[in-house]
Structure 1
Amino acid sequence: MRKYETIFILHPSLDEEAIKANVEKFKGVIENGGGVIENIDNWGKRKLAYEISKVTEGYYTLVNFSADPELPKELDRVFRITDSVIRHIIVNNEK
């Protein structure tokens, strides 16, 4: 098991329920793939560093987790097919 962290930005037009549903969806992908979530940090609505498709704000969420090397590929696939995700990144957090 390796340590990873991912941060994803959700579209600002989503309501609170949709944001929670998306976070639970990604949490489920990690847990169902054999990963262990260590921390979920909701940063809330923040201004983006630069405009993305005419959007200037987004809901940021940081997730720290441990998983096998195959799980980040599946998580990346789910991020890419989810329309409400503006940007995402998954980083191997080991030295």
Structure 2
Amino acid sequence: MRNYELVMVITPEADEAQATSTVENISRFITEHGGTVSSQEQWGTKRLAYPIERFREANFVLTEFALEPTQTVELEASLKSSTDVLRHLLVKKSTKAK
């Protein structure tokens, strides 16, 4: 398994319950596909540098998790199909040599 970081930009039209549900659905997807979520951090509502789908601000969420590399394709497809997620960034965490 590899370690990943996922930053999601969630529409400000989603109320707190919808945003929480979206984050929980992604966490559930990760655990159902054999991964583990190590941390989740709500960054809150931030002003965007440029409009995304007519929105000037959005809610940001950071999730750190471990997952098999083959499952990330399905995860990204799930994120793209979500109407509440405006943008996302999925990156592999680097492992520092000691």
TM-score, length-scaled by structure 2: 0.92
Deviation sequence 1:26-52 (CA, Å, 0-9, x none):
000111111111110110111112111
Q: Cα RMSD (Å) of the superposition?
A: 0.9
What is the identity percentage for the equivalent residue pairs of Structure 1 and Structure 2? 29
Query: In the alignment, which residue of structure 1 is the partner of 2:52?
Result: 52
CA distance in 2, matches of 1:67, 1:94: 14
Paired residue secondary structure (1:13): coil
Give unpaired runs (5+ residues) of structure 1: none
CA distance in 2, matches of 1:84, 1:27: 15
Deviation sequence 1:43-74 (CA, Å, 0-9, x none):
01111121112111111000001111012111
Aligned length: 95
Query: Displaced runs of 4+ in structure 1, greater than 4 A?
Result: none
**Structure with bigger gyration radius:** 2
CA distance in 2, matches of 1:74, 1:94: 22
